[in-house]
Amino acid sequence: MVSKRILGVFSALIVVWLIVPTLVIIPMSFNEASSFNFPPKGFSTRWYENFFTDPSWLQALGSSLQVAILTMIVATAVGVLAALGLSKVRFRGKGLMEGYFLLPLIVPGIVLAVGLYSLFLRLDLLGTLPGFVLAHTIVSMPLVITNVMASLQGLDPRLEQASASLGAGRVRTFFSITLPLIAPGVTAGALFAFVTSFDEVILSLFIQSPSLQTLPVKIFNSVTQTNDPTVAAVAVITMLTSVIVMLIAQFATRKRKRPVA
């Protein structure tokens, strides 16, 4: 019993340790004084007002959403195709190929960032929307691939054979049978891709230009250059967006509990 209690306390400590640094930002965002304070002095929503009235913040939010949505679309489309290829086609070096696709998760972000910077410099992609989307797709696609591959593993290959025997070609079979059955994995992958792009800092710092900054970049610049508590409000908004999207992802994978006979 004693050991069980100790384990409980330890677990609680870990949970608190994981979440407190994140939660500290919430009271700070309602601070009245125009500096970072914890505990906050007084209550006000002026930093939220500031965020929603300052065009530079809103522009950053708009850029972030634009990049995240485009990244989600590109990463999902390419990731689903890659996952299909990896799980359906037998070829030499398939294991290596799988590892290769997951590489961006393992390689340190800063290495990737420096590499991309020099490449984009040459290709004139720095500070451009396609540049951001390309960069974010690199780090988001592995999440799409892993999620979709997991879904495909649970899919009975006989269902696709049945569809073929009933007169459906490959494309028809994909849209009528395969895609609906792996939809939870695709949805989860897409939302992960969105969140990854929306939160991405390292690559974005290297690719940014004064004209195109995503929200995390703007936060970083603001914290290092000014002492504007609006950052706290922005951080809370970013956090809420991510949490909501992740909850949707959870919900999507849990839906459709119908057993695949």
Query: Where does this chain bind other proteins (CB under 8 A)?
Result: 156, 158-159, 161-170, 172, 176-177, 180-181, 256, 258-261
Smallest separation, CB 158 to other proteins (Å) = 4
45 secondary structure, DSSP code: -
Kindly provide the b/e burial profile for residues 157-191, where b requires at least 16 CB atoms within 10 angstroms of the residue's own CB. Answer: eeebeebeeeebeeeebbeebbeebbebbbbbbbb
- Euclidean distance between CA atoms 158 and 180, whole angstroms: 15
Smallest separation, CB 202 to other proteins (Å) = 40
79 touches 145 (CB < 8 A): yes
Task: Please provide the distance, in angstroms rounded to a whole number, between the alpha carbons at the two ends of the chain.
Answer: 43
Smallest separation, CB 94 to other proteins (Å) = 17
- The residue (of 95 and 259) whose beta carbon lies closer to other proteins is 259
Smallest separation, CB 175 to other proteins (Å) = 12
- The residue (of 18 and 261) whose beta carbon lies closer to other proteins is 261
Tokens for 60, please give them: 């950053």
- The residue (of 85 and 157) whose beta carbon lies closer to other proteins is 157
Task: Please choose, from the candidates 54, 12, 45, the residue with its C-alpha nearest in 3D space to the C-alpha of residue 26.
Answer: 45
- The residue (of 172 and 254) whose beta carbon lies closer to other proteins is 172
- The residue (of 77 and 183) whose beta carbon lies closer to other proteins is 183
- The residue (of 177 and 233) whose beta carbon lies closer to other proteins is 177
- Euclidean distance between CA atoms 38 and 11, whole angstroms: 26
CA–CA–CA angle 166, 172, 177 (5° rounding): 75
Smallest separation, CB 156 to other proteins (Å) = 7
Helix, strand, coil tally for the chain in percent (to 5): 80, 0, 20
Smallest separation, CB 87 to other proteins (Å) = 17
196 touches 143 (CB < 8 A): yes
In the three-class reduction of DSSP (H, G, I as helix; E, B as strand; rest coil), residue 212 is classed as strand
Q: How far is CA 21 from the centre of its chain?
A: 20
Smallest separation, CB 49 to other proteins (Å) = 47
- The residue (of 89 and 260) whose beta carbon lies closer to other proteins is 260
Give strand pairing partners of 209. 212
Question: Is 63 buried (19+), middle (13-18) or exposed (0-12) by CB count in 10 A?
Answer: buried
- The residue (of 16 and 166) whose beta carbon lies closer to other proteins is 166
Give strand pairing partners of 212. 209
Smallest separation, CB 64 to other proteins (Å) = 35
